[in-house]
Chains A and B, each alone.
Chain A
Amino acid sequence: MAVTLRGRLATSQFGAMEANSSRELEARNYLEKHRIMELLTYLASALLFFRPEKPREYLISILERLRTAKVSGVAFPFFMDNSNIAAMFQMLDSSNKGSISFIQYKEALKTLGLCTADEVLKDDGHGITCEKFMCEVNKKTQEIWSAF
């Protein structure tokens, strides 16, 4: 649901801007550079999942933690830890063969909000194993968080 939220936010913002295309390009670059959409998706997902009594204070606390984590290099407050990733892999690999297909892998990354629909990922033809899945998910999450 957070993904549809993000889609609606993006279209409503860009629909509202009637400025010439260089401003629009500037705005898009800004969003990309600071990974704003991923951050907002994460914030919205956290809000809807934990449903705190006071949403603004909760959001402020997450952002404060992010700010200190960035400065001091302490671990980021990840949304999913390793046991969650392993559980997700098991759900995908329903027949227990030990690896998932490339299409499943791409869909899973999209659901987690870790890659956009048109990003090209290499397909090495061997299927993705559990360790590789965990490793890729962690790497991508790190990449995103390091931009904040």
Chain B
Amino acid sequence: MDATTAPHRIPPEMPQYGEANHVFELMQNMLEQLLIQQPEDPIPFMIEHLQRDNDYVPKIVILGPPASGKTTIAMWLRKHLNSNLLSVESLMAKEYSSLAADARTRYQKFQTLPDMLLVRLVQERLREEDCVRRGWILDGIPETREQALLIQTLGVSPRHVIVLSAPDTVLIERNLGKRIDPQTGEIYHTTFDWPPESEIQNRLIAPAGISEGETARRLLEYHRNIVRILPSYPKIVKVITADQPCVDVFYQALTYVQTIHRSNAPFTPRVLLCGPVGSGKSLQAALLAEKYGLVNVCCGQLLKEAMADKSKYGEMIRPFFEKETAGPSYIIMKVLRQLLDQQDCAERGWVLHGFPRDRDQACLMDSMGYKPNRVFFLNVPFDSIIERLTLRRTDPVTGERSHLMYKPPPTMEIQARLLQSPKDSEEQIRLRTELFYRNSAELQEFYGQAITLNGDQDPYTVFEYIESGIINPLPKKVP
């Protein structure tokens, strides 16, 4: 095998840099824009795109039946995210646009707009500077599948689509109480959302078309259309039930809109599991290593192996181990380095547990260049730890380990001869747990983006939480 066909040795700094700066997503967004716009001169176009830096600007579509609260949610989102709101009325009301004037005349004559005209209005609005810079929220557009397809062909694609849903009866009732403030355009309700100031109360008028029959007709139309629009936006739709207080709907919508979707970026997990003794770190590490092919790096195990091998580090550690105190950090670090520097560890990713135990060790590891990209803290209450550890037993004859509650020994004869390790006595456990909690606050501060989990559940549930923590992108800190 010569140099060209051997597998590439990539220094670990490269994937770390790529992940930290989201290089893949950057390139993907640029390629998307290039393919959609297909400019004659790609280089100035790319320079402009990079300077605009609007990859994460909000691009939201809100759909829902009449009276579901779309406009209210859209207006609140617009205020909160400091973005722009587009609805059929606002597009038609635009000044200085021949398309909008055309739309107004047609609407007056026929009460509806042709799809192509509406879509071209949207496109014109989205090209303006403020939409490019601060993003956009579409309220109730697209109304039909044809509009959805037309919008897609023009290259407009939202990143989040929110669909509000509620039972028809609730909506028909709700619509009867709808009132609009003609000055601000805000929507109020006679029962759910009555404005406190009496001057607003006096201004409110009931809009046209809120009778039961009218609402029922519009609902029928909506149900017919929405079923055919949703398949255009796979994976980015979230359905929120509108049959709850406005504020709840708003908060659900806001959290959804601020999540980042999983991307196709290459990702090697470098996981750090922290938790008091008995929290299940070794078990989770073994499960992760088996499912994802990561290298399971158990610090305690490594040190014992080093001593058994009688390597030079092993000899240095032995006196500390015999006295049952923790060894000096730099020796432990050296033993770890030998393993983490190997090619397969760098390629496949690793799961580390048992080290670092306090802030200094964490700083040391960080300065050597071993930065985990996911850190988990497993929280288990003290009583559960006692239960898990004090009932551990080992069979001196076969060496099998069992647990009196979770994995009892098969026969009474074996149970009679089981022994308990002195390290599993309550006193010892208490000492070790206290030691952990003394240092855990600092560790959590050091690893800013750590995920805390409840370790007091069955192992496979905890494993699923860990998996979702690894697979989903880390939440972006909202400024």
Residue ID in chain B nearest A4 by CB atoms: B266
The contact of B38 among A27, A56, A59, A148, by CB within 8 Å, is A27
Which residue, of A39, A51, A66, has the highest number of chain B Cβ atoms within 10 A?
Answer: A51
Chain A residues with CB under 8 A of B27: 5, 9, 40, 43-44
Chain B residues with CB under 8 A of A107: 4-5
List residues of B (17-72) whose CB comes within 8 Å of A's CBs. 17-18, 21, 23-24, 26-28, 30-32, 34-35, 38, 42-44, 46-47, 50-51, 53
Q: Check A47 for interface membership: any CB of B closer than 8 A.
A: yes
The contact of B43 among A13, A51, A66, A111, by CB within 8 Å, is A66
Residue ID in chain A nearest B38 by CB atoms: A30
Whether A13 and B50, one on each chain, are in contact in the complex, defined by CB atoms closer than 8 angstroms, is: no
Whether B266 and A40, one on each chain, are in contact in the complex, defined by CB atoms closer than 8 angstroms, is: no
Q: Return the CB mask of B163-174 against A: 1 if under 8 Å, else 0.
A: 000000000000
Whether B18 and A48, one on each chain, are in contact in the complex, defined by CB atoms closer than 8 angstroms, is: yes
Q: Check B397 for interface membership: any CB of A closer than 8 A.
A: no
Q: Check A140 for interface membership: any CB of B closer than 8 A.
A: no
List residues of A (27-63) whose CB comes within 8 Å of B's CBs. 27, 30-31, 34, 36, 39-40, 43-44, 47-49, 51, 55-56, 59-60, 63
Q: Return the CB mask of B203-247 against A: 1 if under 8 Å, else 0.
A: 000000000000000000000000000000000000000000000
Q: How many residues of B contact A (CB 8 A)?
A: 35
Assembled-state Cα–Cα distance A19/B42 (Å): 22
Q: How large is the interface on A (under 10, 10 to 19, 20 to 34, 35 or more residues)?
A: 35 or more
Whether A104 and B31, one on each chain, are in contact in the complex, defined by CB atoms closer than 8 angstroms, is: no
Q: Check B431 for interface membership: any CB of A closer than 8 A.
A: no
Whether B43 and A148, one on each chain, are in contact in the complex, defined by CB atoms closer than 8 angstroms, is: yes
- Using known A-B contacts A4-B266, A40-B31, determine if residue A63 contacts B38 with beta carbons closer than 8 Å: no
Residue ID in chain B nearest A40 by CB atoms: B27
Assembled-state Cα–Cα distance A67/B46 (Å): 11
Whether A30 and B35, one on each chain, are in contact in the complex, defined by CB atoms closer than 8 angstroms, is: yes
Assembled-state Cα–Cα distance A67/B32 (Å): 21
Chain A residues with CB under 8 A of B43: 63, 66-67, 70, 148
Whether A27 and B2, one on each chain, are in contact in the complex, defined by CB atoms closer than 8 angstroms, is: no
Assembled-state Cα–Cα distance A62/B167 (Å): 56
Chain A residues with CB under 8 A of B264: 8, 12
- Of B7-15, B324-332, B463-471, the stretch lying at the interface with chain A is B7-15
> A121 CB to closest chain B CB, in angstroms?
15
Assembled-state Cα–Cα distance A92/B5 (Å): 10
Assembled-state Cα–Cα distance A104/B153 (Å): 44
Q: Return the CB mask of A1-28 against B: 1 if under 8 Å, else 0.
A: 1001100110011000101000000110
Residue ID in chain A nearest B22 by CB atoms: A55
Whether B42 and A36, one on each chain, are in contact in the complex, defined by CB atoms closer than 8 angstroms, is: yes
Residue ID in chain A nearest B263 by CB atoms: A12
Whether A55 and B26, one on each chain, are in contact in the complex, defined by CB atoms closer than 8 angstroms, is: yes
Whether B2 and A94, one on each chain, are in contact in the complex, defined by CB atoms closer than 8 angstroms, is: yes
Chain B residues with CB under 8 A of A12: 28, 264
> A109 CB to closest chain B CB, in angstroms?
9
- Using known A-B contacts A4-B266, A40-B30, A51-B13, determine if residue A59 contacts B50 with beta carbons closer than 8 Å: yes
Q: Check A120 for interface membership: any CB of B closer than 8 A.
A: no
Whether A5 and B24, one on each chain, are in contact in the complex, defined by CB atoms closer than 8 angstroms, is: yes
Chain A residues with CB under 8 A of B35: 13, 17, 27, 30-31
> A101 CB to closest chain B CB, in angstroms?
9
Q: Check B3 for interface membership: any CB of A closer than 8 A.
A: yes
Q: Check A117 for interface membership: any CB of B closer than 8 A.
A: no
Whether A63 and B3, one on each chain, are in contact in the complex, defined by CB atoms closer than 8 angstroms, is: no
Chain A residues with CB under 8 A of B34: 30, 36
Chain A residues with CB under 8 A of B28: 9, 12-13
> A81 CB to closest chain B CB, in angstroms?
19
Q: Check A134 for interface membership: any CB of B closer than 8 A.
A: no
Whether B21 and A1, one on each chain, are in contact in the complex, defined by CB atoms closer than 8 angstroms, is: no
Assembled-state Cα–Cα distance A9/B265 (Å): 9
Assembled-state Cα–Cα distance A90/B318 (Å): 47
Assembled-state Cα–Cα distance A40/B53 (Å): 17
Whether A51 and B17, one on each chain, are in contact in the complex, defined by CB atoms closer than 8 angstroms, is: yes
> A4 CB to closest chain B CB, in angstroms?
7
Assembled-state Cα–Cα distance A94/B10 (Å): 21
Assembled-state Cα–Cα distance A66/B31 (Å): 18
Assembled-state Cα–Cα distance A72/B47 (Å): 18
Residue ID in chain B nearest A54 by CB atoms: B21
Assembled-state Cα–Cα distance A17/B21 (Å): 26
Residue ID in chain B nearest A28 by CB atoms: B35
Assembled-state Cα–Cα distance A43/B28 (Å): 12
> A86 CB to closest chain B CB, in angstroms?
14
Q: Which 9 pairs, one residue from A and one from B, show the smallest C-beta to C-beta distance?
A: A107-B4, A91-B3, A51-B17, A48-B14, A12-B264, A63-B47, A55-B21, A30-B38, A67-B43
Which residues of A pack against B, CB within 8 Å? Answer: 1, 4-5, 8-9, 12-13, 17, 19, 26-27, 30-31, 34, 36, 39-40, 43-44, 47-49, 51, 55-56, 59-60, 63-64, 66-67, 70, 91-92, 94, 104, 107-108, 111, 148
13 of the cross-chain contacts (CB-CB < 8 Å) are A8-B265, A9-B28, A12-B28, A19-B153, A26-B38, A30-B35, A43-B27, A49-B14, A55-B23, A63-B43, A63-B46, A104-B2, A148-B43
Known: A47-B21, A70-B43, A108-B4. 5 other contacts (CB 8 A): A8-B24, A9-B24, A36-B34, A63-B46, A92-B2
